[in-house]
A and B are shown apart, each in its own frame.
Chain A
Amino acid sequence: MTGASDWNRISPLSALFFIFRLLRQVAPQAAPGLIALFAVMFSSDGIGRVLLPVALTAIPLLMLGFGLLSWLRFRYRVVTDRIQVRQGVLEREELDIEFERIQNIGVREPFYMRPFGLAVLAVDTAGTTDKEIELAGIRKTLALKIRTRLLEDSSVAAGEALGDESPEASGAPDAPGNGAHGATLLLELERREVLLYGLTANVMLWAALALAAFFGTGDVAESTIEGVINHPNVQQAALTLQREGGAVLLGIAVTGLGLLVLLSLPLISMLGALLRFDGYRLTLQDETFRRNSGLLTRHDESLRQHKIQAVVWKQNFIARWLGLINLQLRQASAGTGADNGPMPGKPPFTVPSLRLEQAHAMMSRFLPACDSRTARFSPVDAGRYLRVNLVIVLTLFAIPLSLPALLAHPAWYALLLPIGAVCWFVLWRMGRAFGWAVDGEYGYIRRGFLGHTTTIFPLFKVQRVDIRQTPVQHRKGIAHLTVHLASHSLTLPYVRMEDAVKLRDLALFAAESSDRRWY
């Protein structure tokens, strides 16, 4: 190992970055507990009152200390074919990433770094390690230079600083490959389109999920409420309310709050879209896609064409109504075995708010020779899918209903009718949405409910294929097919066995007969 002299430090401003990152990681788990803690401290008269100011000063101080220590202990260097980082407050950690393994390089400028011409360089690898390097608080020019070098070393050159409105962009004169020549502008979004993306993206769902997760920590939330209620004044107020028929009022208040939250979800979602995608520009140079966007923090992400494992074509019911399509480019990533989505906290490379023709044209850019217009989808056995799942769902509902039905009145079973009707509709739509196609050297797998989500992947990039069936399905010639990509996995249920085998054999043939690099 060489001496410590060639290890570089980052700006002290990165302390802020480390604090924010810590907050982002810890807040979701810690928030309910902290709220409860503060509620209890605030409501007690004795020791809690004393502890409150202590806690209020100690926590920020601790975080500041953590940020400063993180900055002090952070070192990085870029040597011939690799980037190395030493970091860690309690545990010393040394990361060593070969340029070869890098999947994605992003440069972003958080609002508190922009005035100082500083940026964050994020290097994302995939495969056996999910370690990610983030160089926070280095000069933006240096970040762009390192990125160029990384991209060049992994055999494809990158365009530089194109489409960046910030004044620092011109300050990278010594960055190789600098200049706008050769870069093609693929997409530029107006603010209106970004806001529309906010409506059509699943951000809404994420927000709802976040809320659910928050309320899911029921015991903590409950104890918080209990703590607040037990406080004499609140109890008195609650009692008074109750005497005045407040139970109704309280109910209305809670319902109103719930409705308000639900109504504000689209707004939150649009705000999220604006923060992330304002001033969206997508360019292409030397087979590298570059995305520039962000209201407060500017994101500058690069992705090489051959690193795309799959493109997800998303159109939910609102998007369908507005005639818009969102595309997601998926890359190899560690830790994503699940059917849905990338790992939390790492958003996919999104190309939002496309009109149909635009989307088709974009597809052939992302996946060469892919013509998304010509794919002909084959259905799955939607009837069987509907019947089997309906029986399962209704059985699950019938069991808890049996208790009141047996004890009180069999009429309780009548509830199964509306439940069954809703489930029937959902399953009918879902069963009909499933489909698959092979067109040229690409595979298509479609699912959906009111809208559609279609994943298009180069057959030769398939990693592994599973076919599962129960003995009954075996007799009926039906199977579940799972295609594993390096980015994520796709399952096609209730597909005809001959179709499953055909799709599998085509994918295997493509994967095994190709000596092209899949990563």
Chain B
Amino acid sequence: MSFTNILVDTTELPRAEELTWTRMPPAHRKELLAQSAIVLTVIVIGATAVAVLFPYPPELAWLFARALPALMVMIGLFTTLLTLARIRLKGYALRSHDIAYRSGLFWRKTTLLPFNRIQHVEVSSGPLQRRFGLSTLKFFTAGGRSVDLKIEGLLSTDAERLRTHILERSKPGAKSG
């Protein structure tokens, strides 16, 4: 059994706080805006259908024809604003041995994932994402119930490049470059 007990000077450690974050591409914002637009359209159509077809008593017209649709549209707009705010805080940083990802508006979360713990990497893209040339990059490690780290809204070319690069690095015995 050969066990080494390295003494580490914690002030010398590379600090994950001193990262330069790469922001998401503008196409991601467009994609999310398009998504919001679709949802809002569905809401408006639904509300119109209710206002026209639902046999509500005339004295409740203010509720069904005005208040409810207005509330739903407001909620839709509000979530869109939140999404936009969230994008501004999203970002990733690639270091020689790990990848960092931060997200979240209220709960700000930073994840650090060492390359040599990655089991496999997956690139996927939904119909809307494809329209904007975007992809989602997913990382899996051992013991996780599901995906361990998911970066949405990367340019497909970047996602592919990242995947190749990270898989290369996650091989056992890979050296830093």
**Chain A residues at the B interface, C-beta cutoff of 8 Å:** 126-128, 287, 309, 332-338, 368-369, 440-441, 462-471, 474, 484-489, 501-502, 504-506, 508-509, 511-513, 515, 518-519
A470's partner among B5, B106, B117, B120 (CB-CB below 8 A) is: B106
B53 CB–A CB distance under 8 Å: no
- Find out whether the CB atom of A128 lies under 8 angstroms from the CB atom of B120: yes
- CB contacts (< 8 Å) of A287 on chain B: these are 1
Number of A-B contacts (CB under 8 A): 118
Main secondary structure of the interface of A (DSSP, over half): loop
- Find out whether the CB atom of B1 lies under 8 angstroms from the CB atom of A368: yes
Give the Cβ gap from A390 to chain B, nearest Cβ, in Å: 20
Nearest neighbor of A467 in chain B, beta-carbon distance: B110
Q: How far is the CA of A462 from the CA of B141 in the complex (A)?
A: 10
Main secondary structure of the interface of B (DSSP, over half): loop
A337's partner among B98, B110, B114, B145 (CB-CB below 8 A) is: B145
Nearest neighbor of B115 in chain A, beta-carbon distance: A512
B108 CB–A CB distance under 8 Å: yes
Q: How far is the CA of A486 from the CA of B145 in the complex (A)?
A: 10
**Chain B residues at the A interface, C-beta cutoff of 8 Å:** 1, 3, 5-6, 8, 10, 13-17, 97-98, 104, 106-117, 119-120, 140-146, 148-149, 172-173
- Can you offer 11 A-B residue contacts whose CB atoms are under 8 A? A337-B146, A463-B141, A464-B111, A466-B110, A466-B111, A468-B104, A468-B108, A502-B13, A506-B8, A508-B97, A511-B114
Q: How far is the CA of A126 from the CA of B141 in the complex (A)?
A: 11
- CB contacts (< 8 Å) of B5 on chain A: these are 369, 440-441
- Find out whether the CB atom of B13 lies under 8 angstroms from the CB atom of A506: yes
- Find out whether the CB atom of A512 lies under 8 angstroms from the CB atom of B119: no
- Find out whether the CB atom of A468 lies under 8 angstroms from the CB atom of B109: yes
Nearest neighbor of B102 in chain A, beta-carbon distance: A467
Give the Cβ gap from A241 to chain B, nearest Cβ, in Å: 50
- CB contacts (< 8 Å) of B110 on chain A: these are 466-468
Q: How far is the CA of A485 from the CA of B144 in the complex (A)?
A: 8
A332 and B119 in contact, given A440-B5, A512-B98, A515-B173 (Cβ under 8 angstroms): no
- CB contacts (< 8 Å) of A333 on chain B: these are 143
Q: How far is the CA of A470 from the CA of B89 in the complex (A)?
A: 13
Q: How far is the CA of A463 from the CA of B117 in the complex (A)?
A: 6
- CB contacts (< 8 Å) of A474 on chain B: these are 108
A508 and B98 in contact, given A336-B143, A468-B108 (Cβ under 8 angstroms): yes
Give the Cβ gap from B168 to chain A, nearest Cβ, in Å: 15
A512's partner among B10, B97, B120 (CB-CB below 8 A) is: B97
- Find out whether the CB atom of A486 lies under 8 angstroms from the CB atom of B15: no
- Find out whether the CB atom of B10 lies under 8 angstroms from the CB atom of A484: no
- CB contacts (< 8 Å) of A484 on chain B: these are 141, 143-144, 148
B15's partner among A332, A463, A470, A501 (CB-CB below 8 A) is: A501
Nearest neighbor of A330 in chain B, beta-carbon distance: B143
